[in-house]
Structure 1
Amino acid sequence: MSKFRIPKINSIHFGAAWIVLSLVVGLLLPAVIRIITGVFYWKMSIIGGVILLGFIIVFCIEMKQDHGKNPYYERYLSEDIPFDPDKQTAVIKCSICTGEQIAGFKNKEDGHFTEVMLIRDADDLAKFKEIYKIEEIKKVY
């Protein structure tokens, strides 16, 4: 049974929206109004700055919540993308052209590949193995 979790403000889905909102309200709108009317609305710049500052504060608090043990995107990785060793095989999908490596699970029945995380170095591979308690991973090209 999956648990209901409120998405974090700094998640991929909401972090960019907060930054864009603060830049639009604080920079773009006052500049457009200044060009059109010749009047600078400094209050809008302050509001945009407050939104951006609030986002940065919440972001820093969330990053420090677990004292650096696990990044926020790894906390619920094994719950969000479960691994069943009876039905799936852990593999690293490697690109021949770019060398990009994606760790994930290949379904034994139909061959469907489920992407889990990008592998940039040996530390990422070790984290993937630790999260899913995997000892051996084969590479697929």
Structure 2
Amino acid sequence: MYQIGELAKACGINNDTLRFYEKNALLTPSHRSESGYRLYSEKDKDILQFILRAKHVGFTLAEIRELLSIEIDKANNACADVKTLVDRKLFDVENKLAELIRFQTSLKRLSNACCGGAESAEHCTILEALESDTDNVRHEHNHHVYDHYK
């Protein structure tokens, strides 16, 4: 049996993280000592490591809760249930990546549109692009013509 500090240390986390998982109903101590200390079994340690691995690959607490419910009752769940959870998460991640790439492209265009000089920002092409409600803004700045997008 592990006390909270021992289990946390064995899994490379702090006590507060362990308490957080308890508060969010992901982990429950197997026992309490006579003096009321939380006591955790090897099975509890395995569950905590499962939680940490799932968190490491990007699952949210709610998703981990779903995975744990399947893990605990494997006989009454199908592999397809787990795959559905993973595929849903993968879809979300792919959408977030596409959004980040769009952000990156837009930011590069903004950065490339600006001369970055010491002149006043009164005619800054980046600020003008962000103020504009059009997709393309053309501005002559320092004798160069810049195209950029909001």
| Structure with the largest fraction of helix | 2
TM-score by length of 2: 0.27
Which structure exhibits the higher relative contact order, with contacts defined as CA atoms closer than 8 Å and separated by 6 or more residues?
A: 1
Greater per-residue strand proportion: 1
